[in-house]
Structure 1
Amino acid sequence: MPVTAQAETLRIATYNASLTRNGAGLMLAAIERGQDERLARVAAIIQTVRPDILLINELDHDPEGRALAALQTYLTTGRMGAEGITYAHVLTAPVNTGVLTGQDLDGDGHAFGPRDAQGFGRFPGQYGMAILSRYDISGFRSFQEVLWSDLPGAIPPEGVFAGQRLSSKSHWDVEVRVAGRPLHLLASHPTPPVFDGPEDFNGRRNHDETMFWVQYLSGQAFRDDQGQTTPAPTAPVLLLGDLNADPFDGDARRDALSALLSHPRLQDPTPMSDGAVAAARAQVGANAGHQGDPAQDTADWNDDRGPGNLRVDYVLPDARLTVLGSGVFWPAPGQPGADLLGEGRDQASDHRLVWVDIDWPG
């Protein structure tokens, strides 16, 4: 009698965990000491949601991957009442933050500051990225070295440095094999569209970092750092990361994000939370003038000066996959897990973990 393959629920998440410090090796030291309350909160949130595959934005990268290995071990022990979780497979790679260009890009008279790098950073690898997975990581393409000028239709400001790379961190296409089938994770962390002048350098770059994915999914072939020039795979994809752009509010140029959210290869489950609604009501300020649904917010930002709480973190599954559920880990006060978020300096992160469950064919 033939055996029918069983589908399984696959939970995939993205989390800008703010695991960054202002000096190389400081985050690694904090993880190894294991006495950082914010780190314990981050770990407990991950252990509570228990994603099968997790992208972390803002984990400082080091060439040997020691910080990621330390975090991998740290997560195996339960934190703040949560049960430990084991990720057998991890991946990290270099990013553009802190990689000096040799140019005085900010015009301050020297060429060794954080704004003189390919991506804003005080040292190479600050604000890095990492993948943690229960499943085998079987392929990897990075587009860290793609020049801004290599993107068709790019909109850099006049006079931009000719060697300026597109990605402020990196763009990754990571193949994970689940039940023998490939799933491609498209991961990135575009620059915030603020902290610049009237030239709108960061706003334009944020737009084009997102537009890279729109073009890649539409068949544009880019040369990767491994020397291959091929378009996106035909296998299922899932795009995730902190895109630093909200569909309705904030300072981003929204047409690139709109094109991504409506791309025929993707679907948007619009994850929500009760905590985001409660925060928007309590904090008022900039939130009072927002057009978007506060239930979809994923970042808890300044309400007096702005921009207020926004939706900037995304998990967008392939349109061919069946979504079983989704959410943002942002419990309202009094709900289970609300104490894990913390407040002020003890806040786990100013972003919230976003997850999506998909029905993966066995």
Structure 2
Amino acid sequence: MFDSLVFCVRLVMVCSLRLRLVRVLLCFLVLLPLLVGETLAAGESVRFATFNIWELTREKLDRVDPETGLGNDPQLMLAAAIIQQIRPDVLLIQEIDYDEAGENVSLFLRRYLAVSQQDQVPLEYPHVVSEPVNTGLPSGLDLNQNGELGDPEDAWGYGRYPGQYGMALLSRLPIARERLRSFQKFRWQQMPGNHIPDGREGRPDWYPAEIAERLRLSSKSHLDIPLLWGDRTVHVLASHPTPPVFDGPEDRNGRRNHDEIRLWADYIRGGDSAGYLVDDQGRRGGLAAEGEFVIMGDLNSDPDQGERFDGVAPIRMLLDHERVQDPRPGSRGGLATLRDRPADQAAVATSHFGRLDYVLPSRGLRVTDCGVYWPALDEPHADRVGDDRRSSDHRLVWVDLSFSEDASDAR
């Protein structure tokens, strides 16, 4: 009798275990299409996007629901909803506070992107790059020439505290970290033919020689982030040059913006043009001639209106570059909003200031689709954007890319 009872108990346990295994297997089979959909095949297109999220600060990231611990900052919830709708595979975020431990990026991922916003499907990014920036980093020099030290303008890049206006790259593609290059500490004076206002050759006499020789070129940083795309590599070239305003007749910010953009133009041209470049890791030169790349970021230069240097918009150094293609992503919202602009300019605007944000692939990549997230009033979710920085003062820009079998196929 006892043996029969033990047998029955064991039989129930075995059946229960098998039932659990069946349930797990069924759940796996149900979720398998979603898991496969979130895995990048080597041959499929990859969506690259850049999004300047206005002042994505630690203060905003720490605003949470006291019961759930999830983020409840209204602006960041809207920004996350936009990202979840567009679903970039590779996303460059600007104006996120940098911290050495990477906590701020982790908080945005966990409290916002990993949580459904406005019924959108959550997003996860297994690979993240967040590197030091010059913004808010004290220089110990009187860069704004007001006789005092410690102003936001006296940092290597304008900022009220170290790490303000940082950058982070979120990626579903693996990152070849050992090949990552940064130019945060590259000195402006190292660039041949630079435009430092130091009184030389008829330039405005703003920076004394002892300051000019120490200035850093990058207001945040310039990053070459190699991504592994199947058996190939694509380099994300990320930067956020200083706005060419907030200065005086010396045009120190306009000159810096020009040369920050020029750095990438020289870098992708390579050879002798990039021979002067030395990264923070001590490696010299630019990108290899066969290297495929995507230039991304808020470059603070409009090709048609706004600041000019030597009569030309600095961004033209990239838009007209022999290795760059310009997909001209656009939106109906920009066209409807910027009525004071010619239609062809308004359609590709990325902010109320014009076209400032770019995703510019090399010519060896094929553009399959592109756009600017700026819904017109009669389109869904138009309330996510506006002139009140409800999600940001910039729009998300995205471009879908695949590898071309022949460079001549590139758009």
What TM-score do the two structures reach when normalised by structure 1? 0.89
Q: Does 1:317 align with 2:375?
A: no
Does the C-alpha gap of structure 1 residues 291 and 202 become closer, same or farther in structure 2, counting only changes over 3 Å? farther
Q: Give the counterpart of 1:298 among 323, 330, 350.
A: 350
Question: Partners in 1 of 2:233 and 2:75 — Cα distance?
Answer: 34
Q: Does 1:349 align with 2:392?
A: yes
- The residue correspondences of 1:245-284 to structure 2 (distance < 5 A) are 245-253=301-309, 254-281=312-339
Deviation of 1:263 after TM superposition, in Å, equals: 1.1
Deviation of 1:27 after TM superposition, in Å, equals: 4.1
Q: Does 1:38 align with 2:94?
A: no
Deviation of 1:359 after TM superposition, in Å, equals: 1.8
Q: Does 1:99 align with 2:137?
A: yes
Q: Give the counterpart of 1:358 among 395, 398, 401.
A: 401
Structure number with the bigger relative contact order (C-alpha 8 A, sep ≥ 6) is 1
- The residue correspondences of 1:126-141 to structure 2 (distance < 5 A) are 126-139=164-177, 140-141=180-181
Question: Partners in 2 of 1:89 and 1:27 — Cα distance?
Answer: 23
Deviations 1:316-337 (Å, cap 9, x if unpaired)?
Answer: 0110111101100001002022
Contact 1:76 1:84 in 2 (8 A): yes
Q: Which residue of 1 aligns with 2:190?
A: 150
Question: Partners in 2 of 1:292 and 1:215 — Cα distance?
Answer: 29
**What secondary structure sits across from 2:48 in the alignment?**
strand
**What secondary structure sits across from 2:241 in the alignment?**
coil
Deviation of 1:38 after TM superposition, in Å, equals: 0.1
Deviation of 1:90 after TM superposition, in Å, equals: 0.6
Q: Which residue of 2 aligns with 1:244?
A: 300
* Stretches (4+) displaced over 6 A: none
Question: How many residues align structurally?
Answer: 340
Deviation of 1:248 after TM superposition, in Å, equals: 0.6
Deviation of 1:30 after TM superposition, in Å, equals: 3.6
Does the C-alpha gap of structure 1 residues 150 and 359 become closer, same or farther in structure 2, counting only changes over 3 Å? same
Question: Partners in 1 of 2:184 and 2:63 — Cα distance?
Answer: 27
Question: Partners in 1 of 2:305 and 2:337 — Cα distance?
Answer: 16
Q: Which residue of 2 aligns with 1:71?
A: 108
Does the C-alpha gap of structure 1 residues 337 and 317 become closer, same or farther in structure 2, counting only changes over 3 Å? same
Contact 1:28 1:66 in 2 (8 A): no
Identity, % of aligned positions: 45
Q: Give the counterpart of 1:229 among 284, 292, 296.
A: 284
Q: Which residue of 1 aligns with 2:202?
A: none
Mind listing any 5+ residue stretches in structure 1 that lack a counterpart?
A: 282-286, 301-308
Q: Which residue of 2 aligns with 1:304?
A: none
**What secondary structure sits across from 2:244 in the alignment?**
coil
Structure showing the higher strand proportion among its residues? 1
What TM-score do the two structures reach when normalised by structure 2? 0.79
Structure 1 window deviating more from structure 2 (63-72 vs 152-161): it is: 152-161
Question: Partners in 2 of 1:87 and 1:337 — Cα distance?
Answer: 24
Report which of the two structures shows the higher radius of gyration computed on alpha carbons. Answer: 2
Contact 1:206 1:252 in 2 (8 A): no
Question: Partners in 1 of 2:280 and 2:229 — Cα distance?
Answer: 25
Structure showing the higher helix proportion among its residues? 2
Question: Partners in 1 of 2:142 and 2:396 — Cα distance?
Answer: 36
Code of the residue aligned with 1:230 in structure 2: it is G
RMSD value, Cα: 1.9
Contact 2:335 2:343 in 1 (8 A): no
Question: Partners in 2 of 1:56 and 1:291 — Cα distance?
Answer: 28
Deviation of 1:80 after TM superposition, in Å, equals: 1.7
Q: Which residue of 2 aligns with 1:123?
A: 161
Deviations 1:55-113 (Å, cap 9, x if unpaired)?
Answer: 01111101111001111223111112211111111110100001111112223332111
Mind listing any 5+ residue stretches in structure 2 that lack a counterpart?
A: 1-40, 199-205, 406-411
Does the C-alpha gap of structure 1 residues 359 and 278 become closer, same or farther in structure 2, counting only changes over 3 Å? same
Q: Does 1:336 align with 2:372?
A: no
